[in-house]
Every structure is written in structure tokens, then in C-alpha cells.
Structure 1
């Protein structure tokens, strides 16, 4: 946490002199948990689909390098098969703060491709669990009380890797991103009659479309040869 705050302080002077774009991202998540299996008969885990809504603050530090903090609402989760054909599903709602470094390569005046990477810090706002039968009919659902369910760790942190392309239209820009998040903190301990797991960590693949607008600074145009 201290290292995360130190990164912000270090980058503030550079950000104040940069071109600033603000905007949003809307996307779909495919999330699951990475577990350390410690017994012979593992549970059958599968991924969970959710949404992601992000506010974007893109600081263009140079022609090719940008710093992009985001404020995001992120749905993560997982599901696993139970005995008798039923399965249990967990849905977790996070507030997330990624800080990404972005390297872009312009291909003409409008098109740019980019790659990005950086850390993220997440806080678990709420969660619920549901049980479905083999015909996908919901049998029960309930909100999770974190005061009673001590196996949930509410703070998570991880690394993000991604890329995409964008199209510039005057001061506006459309973005198309793909991103992979690797959780580094243990977020859950599961003990069942089928198996026991420890060191459960989030893994999320995200696809999104976004829009940004140049709020401060001039539009950087490519010079004609």
C-alpha cells in the first residue's frame, strides 16, 4: 500500500504538465480463481461473467507514453459443480484502482495501437452466493455477511497486462481494449467435503470499449512527410 501511494506522489509532477484526456470504459469480464489444489479430487471450477465500468484519466506524457489511472466498478466471481449435479456460484463486486503505463504507436493521424501494464488495488464492496440445479434453475441466493464469513479477504491487489487500438476524431477518441488481470493476494479459503483449497486468487480477462475526450492540452497531430 505504501509503495502504491509513493508511485502516485512520484508521478504527480509529470502528470501536471501532460495532456489530459478523461472518459470511460464499459466491458465484460470473464473471471475465475486460481487455486492451489491440496487433495486428490478437485472441485470442478469454471469461469463467471460480469461487467466492468471504469472512469479513465489519461495523461499523455510524450508522443508515445501515457499514464492512465482508472476508477472502476468490477464484477468478479467463480462457480463450481457440487455433488448431485447442482452448482454454486459466487459473485463479488469490487471497487478497483488500476494505474497503467501505456505505450502507443500511431499509424496515421487517427489510428493508434497500444500496449499497457501496471498494478491495481481492489476493495470488495459486496458479494452473494447462489445455488442452481442441473437445469440452471436458481434454488437459493443470499448476500454474504463479511462479519460472519471470515474466509473472504476484502482487499486484493494484482497486475494488469493488455493492449488494443484507438481511433481519434478531433478531441475525441474511441478505444478498444483487451486486458488480463492476475490477482496476487489470497482472497478466499474453501473447505468442502469434496476438496480443500488454499491460496485462491482472482484471474480476470476483460474486453471493453471506451471513449475519451481531451480536456486539457492541444491535439498532437502527425506531421506530413
Structure 2
């Protein structure tokens, strides 16, 4: 009898617990844009626009806190029509493509507003630079991994639709030239499934 009870308890955990977990998890489709600059390239301003898209999962811890991992395609870089060194009429542009994995801790301050903070591990897919004569591949010259700290806020427009804005900055140098990524990311999030 004890063995039967133990087996029932064991299987009940796997049969019924996922339903509880499913109510605590919300997945989302993410799409948006980034505005970036590279600190150390002697350019100023978030002049390089890029795309952001991917997905996220939100794991509810309690009524205020949740944990949110994401997988995103993220474009970073830098852009300027003039440079301080060389020809002032030269076109200068860095184009960096990353797969980004942010890990965020969320704190709900109001039903519609959530603060976010965390780290993102970014893997460099490609790096190209154009100094006015066309793009040249520089992928091998930069670090493959870029660790970033980040902070942001999310506004829930409707139950299944939200807008998110965040800032992230490189923790370490990208290469011997002492470059660091700095970017602002604005996204729309389409949550799948029912509400919280």
C-alpha cells in the first residue's frame, strides 16, 4: 500500500505540477529596434540603428518578482558621416550582429509598470566596418563574447501586449582598441497564452 501511495504521489507530481508551472510562465515574441554607439571609437551619439527580434519567457516568482531569460538577434555598432581623424568627408560605420541572451530580474512596481535589471551574454556573429570604401570584415579582430549589464522598464499596454525600453553597456573591452558597446533597445512584446 505504501509503495502504491508513493508511486501515485510521484506520478501525480509530474502529471499535475506542469499545469501549475504553466500558469507561472508567459512566453513572448519580441520585435523592435536598437540605437547604438561604440565607446572608444571617437564618435558620439547613438547614431547606429539596428533590428532586434527573438523571444522571451517570464517565470513568475511571486506577485512582485519574476525571472526573465531571452534569446534575441541584436544589431549594434556605430555610425558617423565625419571623423576626427582622417578625411572629414569620409563615411564611417561599424555594423555588429549578435545573438544576445539577457537574464533579467523583474520587479513589478504597479500593475502596468515593471522595472528590470540583469546581465546579457552576447555572441558576435559578424563585425564589419566601412570607412568610405565599402564594408570590410573585422569579425576576427573583436572578442566573440560581450558581457553587458542592463536596466530597463516595461509598460503593459494590454494583457498580451507590452512596450519595453532598456539600456545596456559592455562590462569588458571588445578588443585591444578599448571599444565598448553602448546601446538603447526599444521593443514591443506579444505575450502568448492567458494572463497572470
State the TM-score bracket (shorter-chain normalisation). Answer: 0.7 to 0.9
Q: Larger relative CO (CA 8 A, sep 6+): 1 or 2?
A: 1
Equivalent residues of 2:43, 2:78 under 8 A apart = no
Cα deviation, residue 33, structure 1:
1.7
Per the alignment, residue 49 of structure 1 pairs with 49
| Alpha-carbon spacing, 1:125–1:44, altered in 2? closer, same or farther (3 Å) | closer
Q: Calculate the aligned-residue CA RMSD, in Å.
A: 2.3
Shift in alpha-carbon separation, 1:79–1:116, aligned structure 2, 3 A: same
Shift of 1:52: 0.9
Cα shift at 1:88:
1.7
* 5+ residue gaps, structure 1: 1-14, 36-41, 133-138, 190-197, 221-225
Would you tell me which structure has more strand in proportion to its own residues?
1
Q: State whether structure 2 residue 152 is matched by structure 1 residue 140.
A: no
Distance in 1, Cα, partners of 2:99 & 2:171: 16
- Matched with 2:144 is 154
TM-score, L = length of structure 2: 0.78
Q: Which residue of 2 aligns with 1:182?
A: 169
Gap change, CA 1:69 and 1:25, over 3 Å in 2: same
Contact 1:93 1:126 in 2 (8 A): yes
In the TM superposition, what whole-angstrom CA distance separates every residue of 1:180-224 from its partner, at most 9, and x where no partner exists?
0011111133xxxxxxxx422111111111111237xxx44xxxx
Match of 2:25 in 1: 20
Do the aligned partners of residues 145 and 72 (structure 1) sit closer, same or farther apart at CA in structure 2, a change above 3 Å counting? closer
1:195 alignment partner in structure 2: none
Closer/same/farther in 2, CA of residues 69 and 140 from structure 1, 3 Å limit: same
Query: More helix by proportion, 1 or 2?
Result: 2
Task: Give the secondary structure class of the aligned counterpart of 1:199.
Answer: coil
In 2, the alpha carbon distance for the partners of 1:119 and 1:178 equals 15
User: What are the ranges of 5 or more consecutive residues in structure 2 without an aligned counterpart?
Assistant: 1-19
Secondary structure of the residue aligned to 2:143 is: coil
Alpha-carbon distance between aligned partners in 2 of 1:145 and 1:76, rounded to the nearest angstrom: 13
TM-score by length of 1: 0.69
Q: Do the aligned partners of 1:33 and 1:201 also contact (CA within 8 Å) in 2? A: yes
Greater Cα radius of gyration, structure 1 or 2: 2
